[in-house]
Structure 1
Amino acid sequence: MKKIILSLTVIGILFSCGKTKKEESLSKIEIEEEVKEKFIPVHDTVIENAVIYEANIRQYSEEGTFNAFTKDIPVLKDLGVKVLWIMPIYPISTTKSKGSLGSYYAVSDYTKVNPEFGTIEDFRVLVKTAHDNGIYVILDWVANHTGWDHVWLKEHPEYYTKDKEGNITHTVDTDWTDVADLNYDNQQMREQMIQDMSYWIKEEGVDGFRCDVAGMVPVDFWENAVAELEKIKPVFMLAEGWEPELLENAFDMGYGWDTHHKMNDIAKGKANVAEWDKRMEQIDSMYAKDDILMNFTSNHDENSWNGTVKERMGDAKEVLAALSYLAPGMPLIYSGQEYDMDKRLLFFDKDTISKEKGVFFPLYKKLGKLKNTNQALHGGKNAASYKRIKTSDDTKILAFAREKENNKVVFIANLTKEKVNFILDDTKEEAYIDYFSEKRIHLKTGKGLELNPWKYLILIKE
């Protein structure tokens, strides 16, 4: 329920054209250019119709650098992306590291960049390029633990969790042996953590954070941290967690883990549409109306450890991608999904995404445009309504309407591997345009329809 407030003071400094002086966050590099509009801090309105993209810098290109990724930021804009989540960019500890390059999440310094990716100047160009394309940047923040090379281990061992013998330990009940667990009973550590987070907001111009295993860190820390960050400017906060209490005063958005798991089960025939309906009812009962959940068919954890979209979802992968956009919430694209990626990316070693456009690039572009432009798909703090449309076969056919301010979108999908003939029940007679074929179609009670396995319709009310 945390609110993003756009400061009138900030708005007052905007200007429309002309030469700019070097911006404060870019004062260390020589960048001057004409700008049509100065980028403004994150605010509720832009989040309503946003698509979020998770950037895996190491694996995104052969070079694995900030500069190589920055070149493609206009491509992300073309896909409707408005929030860019960048996986951890900080130096990685080598002590107890895994693989040849180690984990992004074994941080050795919270206020530096990994030289594997480039320089801080390169990162600043990335942020500016994103802002110039209307895209907000959030950094992956790892607050639960540090790598074993972090300076705190030598200078402040009291910041860490210790066993009964006094030895610093990795996080209990995990195999995260490459990281040392932080002790949130230590108030000085909490203060230093917030200072390090503030550096990226104040000095480097980022717009918020995706917070790793947020539910493993005390909620009151997050609430205090966000309160301090927003003294600098409004921020967007994404929790890697589902707990409703995280969204009360700290985070704007959480993970729709159970929604994702339900999608996987439907694709495998382990669940049907009735189970989807139960999930929607669960969301209504657990979360406040202005809470946001992130919808996804993949992310870095799912891809590397649980399988590619094709492995987990098979022939259902396209309809479930569409559902992630049409259902309430914010849809996620993980690096490579736009290029039909069908391999598990290595996590601790160098790997590379193949950038060959197939089915998903034009699909994501089309879905992104609809998400960006139609209020019926708003999924932020003032989300469009979600209303189930009954059919003659509600265990196989998912049909619902999203509606807001005279805008209406209907989604009808066959979530099975068999062809289904069905009839719409209790449906108001209205005219629609099929979003993909652009053909006109009327819906009404008693209308018979047929959908092939895993096929779907997106209908826009005229």
Structure 2
Amino acid sequence: MVIYQIYPRSFNDTNGDGIGDLNGIYEKLDYLKDLGIDAIWMCPFNSSPNADNGYDVSDYRNIQPEFGTMEDFDKLLKGMHDRGIKLVMDVVVNHSSNEHEWFKQSRSSRDNPYRDYYHWWPAEKGKPNYRYSLFDPKGDAWKYDSTTNAYYLHYFSEQQPDLNWENPKVRQEVYDIMKFWAEKGVDGFRLDAFQFAAKDTTFPKLPDGYEKNFFEYYAVQDGLHDYLKEMNEQVFSKYPVMSVAEGAGRNFQDAHDLVDASRNELNMAYAFDGVDVAQYGGYELSKMKQVFSKWDSAFADQGWLSVFLSNHDQARMVSRWGDDSPEFRAPSTKMLNTFILSMRGTPYCYYGDEIGMTNIDFQTIDQYQDIAAKNSYQKAMMEGEYMELFMRKLNFSSRDNGRTPMQWNTFQNAGFSTGKPWLPVNENYKTINVEASQNDPNSILNHFKKMVKLRKENLVLIHGTYELFAKEHPQIYAYTRTLGQEKMLILLNFSKQVTSLKLDENLALEEVLVNNYENVDLANGTVSLKPYQGMVFRLK
């Protein structure tokens, strides 16, 4: 299946409050069906005070009022199922919101029945050993709370206290919540930040500077596999649902232990090694080839992977991996979509990437909404960083880049909302929008549909083996997919230069199936590729 990720706040607003809603997604279901996608992963829509835009849940069984009602959700789910589209729901249970009733009870007194739903450290024992926080400006994951003279743990912001998964009552609460949604008809669960859920609750001292490699100490710790096996037994095995966790652990063994069928834990891994290659200052294609090829090789026989280049925690795909200039935005976006949809693994395509949406250009910290951006700014100020460079990096990599409103047409606010959008609409919406794309047969949108169709009609692009070709070429990423007698060759130019590749004699081209330019320049067994040209060939 091809999975399409939606950030609900930014997709389509039907009531003019500037925030996308469930009815907005319902209104666009025919558009989504026309894309050819099979499932939608929807970022959190549960009740939340929005410290981290929904990734801080205050009521797991209710809908965030900004997004609508439970009746709106039921209507949306039925509309999706009527069109053959499945729903994958984000489940945020490494932590909750500090406004969740569990936490309110937990912090009220030391003998409250909910006290052990979270990680507390009594202050009379002294300050607990340092733990790194990903979102806290001071980098400290322990927050002092005077109500009971104790510290609580938060790996993310202080508004996101970590749940204590050692407590069987917490685990049962979560399983019951998942059953509630599965019985409503939800088709899958994505477990946010779950690789961090297991913790050594003695909180021993960790090596100085460990936060530079915190994954080694935070990801897939003892107990996590037991929790997942229990979750599988109580939920996944009882309902027709898929499961995927954010992250794939510290190494290939961790990833296999999470997803190999014999383990009875999860269905697929969502690894970040690939997407982490592209950073401020660019990336090396050789490194990208190495990482994606390495993961494919490790899962050639067992387990299953996801393939993606962007999501709600990343800047825009074309701005990071391609070239978002007017000259090269279209061909480079098409080339990147060709990559995602021709690799082995389940493709995750992020909203707006099917039309080539780009990063937005924020100049001041006041324009950002993301808690990670604001807190990292405070941290940089406290540590005396060179702020001009910091702001350039933030401008390139901020999560807000990937959260700007969907660009539907040339009307006010790109047709997203009649009110003031919660994040500004990118100024380029007059030229980059769905309506203009639908009317152009050579658009990024129509190329995306072609690639989805090609993938669905050719099992070789799903189950076929992957083999890297021309490994040392500095600009071209080339690989074959083979299944029985079926064989395809994918050629992708990741540069703005014209470049060429001499084909092996055993690669006999039969036909061009997809090409983001009009022509193929082939002579004497050498293919010349235009800037960001991407092609899929069937081989004889």
Bin of the TM-score, shorter chain as denominator length: 0.7 to 0.9
In structure 1, runs of 5+ residues without a counterpart are 1-49
Whole-Å separation in 2 of the counterparts to 1:88 and 1:426: 51
Q: What residue in structure 2 maps to residue 387 of structure 1?
A: 467
3-state SS, counterpart of residue 47 of structure 2 = coil
Find runs of 4+ consecutive structure 1 residues off by over 3 angstroms: 267-270, 284-288, 315-318, 343-351, 436-444
Matched position secondary structure for 1:163: strand
Once the 2 structures are TM-superposed, how far is the Cα of residue 59 of structure 1 from its aligned partner?
1.2
TM-superposed CA distance for 1:431, in Å, is 1.6
Evaluate the alpha carbon distance shift between residue 276 and residue 148 of structure 1 in structure 2; reply closer, same or farther with a 3 A threshold: closer
Aligned residue in 2 for 1:21: none
Tell me the CA shift for residue 280 of structure 1: 4.0
Amino acid of the structure 1 residue aligned with 2:533 = K
**How far 1:406 sits from its partner (Å)?**
3.5
- Report matched runs for 1:344-355 at 5 Å: 346-347=369-370, 352-355=405-408
Paired position in structure 2 for 1:43: none
Q: Distance in 2 between matches of 1:347 and 1:57?
A: 15
Distance in 2 (alpha carbons) for counterparts of 1:196 and 1:409: 44
Identity over aligned pairs, percent: 26
1:257 is matched with which residue?
272
1:140 aligns with 2:90: yes
Tell me the SS of whatever aligns to 2:80. helix
- Structure 1 residue corresponding to 2:351, chosen from 326, 331, 335: 335
Flag the 1:455–1:390 CA change in 2: closer, same or farther, 3 A. Answer: same
Give the aligned partner of residue 43 of structure 2.
87
Map 1:126-137 onto structure 2 (within 5 A): 126-137=76-87
Provide the rounded CA distance (Å) in 2 between the counterparts of 1:280 and 1:342: 24
Q: Secondary structure at the match of 1:111?
A: strand
Query: Structure 1: how far apart are the matches of 2:9 and 2:298?
Result: 37
* AA partner of residue 457 (structure 1): M
Structure 1 residues 336 and 433: CA distance shift in structure 2, 3 A: closer
CA shift, 1:157, in A, is 2.3
Contact 1:81 1:368 in 2 (8 A): yes
In 1: Cα distance, 2:83 partner to 2:269 partner: 25
Three-state SS of the structure 1 residue aligned to 2:40 is: strand
Q: CA deviation at 1:371?
A: 1.5
- Tell me, yes or no, if the aligned pair for 1:268 and 1:313 is still in contact at 8 Å: no
Q: Distance in 1 between matches of 2:517 and 2:358?
A: 30
Q: Does 1:119 align with 2:104?
A: no
SS of 2:358 mapped into structure 1: coil
**2:225 maps to which residue?**
219
2:11 is the alignment partner of 1:51:
no
Matched residues in 1 for 2:284 and 2:26: separation?
A: 41
Task: State the alpha-carbon separation in 1 of the partners of residues 99 and 282 from structure 2.
Answer: 46
Quote how far apart the aligned CAs of 1:426 are. 4.2
Q: Which has the higher contact order (CA 8 A, sep 6+)?
A: 1
Query: In structure 2, which of residues 158, 172, 180 is the aligned counterpart of residue 191 of structure 1?
Result: 172
For 2:248 and 2:21, the matched residues in 1 are separated by: 32
RMSD (CA atoms): 2.9
Query: Is 1:205 matched with 2:211?
Result: no
Alignment partner of 2:63: what SS? coil
* Larger deviation, residues 285-294 vs 133-142: 285-294
Q: Which residue of structure 1 lines up, in the alignment, with residue 150 of structure 2?
A: 167
Deviation at 1:453, TM superposition (A): 2.2
Distance 1:440 1:455 in 2: 10
| 8 Å CA contact 1:139, 1:209 repeated in 2 | yes
Deviation string, structure 1 residues 363-396 (Cα, Å, up to 9, x no partner): 2111111122111111xxxx211123348x6333
TM (norm. structure 1) is 0.77
- Name the amino acid aligned to 1:362: N
Note the C-alpha offset of 1:189. 0.9
Q: 1:365 to 1:458 in 2, by over 3 A?
A: same
Residue 526 of structure 2 corresponds to 448
Structure 2 residue matching 1:84: 3-state secondary structure: strand
Segment of structure 1 superposing worse, 120-129 or 148-157:
148-157
Displacement of 1:186: 0.8
